[in-house]
Amino acid sequence: MTDAKAAGTLAEKSIRLQKATDQEYQAFLSRTFLYRQAVGSLIYLNATRPDISWTISKLSQYLDKPSMKHVTAVKHLFRYIKRTKSNTLVYKPTDNNLKAYRDSDWAGSIEDRRSTTGYVSTLGSAPLSWKTRKQPTVALSSCEAEYMALAECTKEILSLRSLKHR
């Protein structure tokens, strides 16, 4: 990947990840790409890169049976990181307002129709905490998926507020 062309986006626009068929998995096994190790290194990097959190969450759902589509998505993410490696989190003295932003996709998973929650909380100008994960239950409507995301985000804000006031 050292000589790979840098990518300007987190993922390819048309890619839709899903569990590999047995034939796709066998094609993956014939290659020597260390998918689990690659995703593991991305998870480690996620501690300082909130912009890649959602993509890593999606890629890590297929650790048990990846296909070459998953490998392509991992390589694309590495190319994006190559282009944005100089991006940093900058913490400046600000008004110290604690803010949070959250979203969810309704039934975004093709296999089990569960939604994904994502949120980021900021203190002043930079991200303080962030998370992306599949919701534990199936939401019956987009409104329900948004409420589950709101509940997760609210728990995080309450926790951070208690730390702020100590």
Q: Quick: pLDDT tens for 94-140.
A: 777 889 999 999 998 888 999 999 999 998 888 999 999 999 999 99
DSSP state of 51: G
Instruction: Tell me: pLDDT of 142 over 90.
Output: yes
Determine the 3-state secondary structure of 20 from DSSP: coil
**CA 116-121-124 angle, 5° bins:** 155
Judged on CB neighbours under 10 Å (0-12, 13-18, 19+), 69 is middle
pTM, two decimal places: 0.84
Q: pLDDT of 2-36, one tens digit each?
A: 889 999 998 887 778 899 999 999 999 999 899 99
